[in-house]
Amino acid sequence: MAKLQPEPKTSELHLTAVLYALSDETRLQIVQSLTWTSEIACGYFDIDMPKSSLSHHFRVLRSAGVIATRKDGTALLNRLRREDLDEKFPGLLDSVLASMSRRKPNLRAKKSSRTPARKSTRVN
């Protein structure tokens, strides 16, 4: 698995990068889904596209500072950087989210009680 590039500090957020990240329907769907929960593993977004394309969208959101991603075992957990965005650009995220339809996010139903973040690979 490739090393994650760190997201920018709050002071390093740029409006143009954030607006670019929010200018795509897929990335908006990811952001909207993240408003409903604290963290979501990459595999739980129900977005019909190749994994490489979805990875690109997460990378754009992360490099713009819209989301933070942390590794937990083999899972990548994503969270919205709402506080940082609100501090740097007051009202921006609320305005963007208000312009979207108010629908529940498309998250895959869990197949078991275990989340991907808790799965482990055992080596004998």
DSSP string, 11-80: GG--HHHHHHHTTSHHHHHHHHHHHTSS-EEGGGB---S-HHHHHHHHHHHHHHTSEEEEEETTEEEEEE
Amino acid at residue number 45: F
Q: What is the mean pLDDT for each group of 10 consecutive residues in the chain (124 residues)?
A: 80 96 94 90 84 91 96 92 97 90 55 43 45
pTM of the model: 0.77
Domains along the sequence of the chain with CATH: 10-100 (1.10.10.10)
Q: What is the pLDDT of residue 4?
A: 78
Assign residue 65 a region (left: φ > 0; alpha: ψ between -120 and 50; beta: otherwise): left
Residue 74 to residues 13, 54, 70, 82, Cα–Cα distance (Å):
28, 17, 10, 25
Please give the pLDDT value at position 111: 44
Q: Are 58 and 29 in contact (CB under 8 A)?
A: no
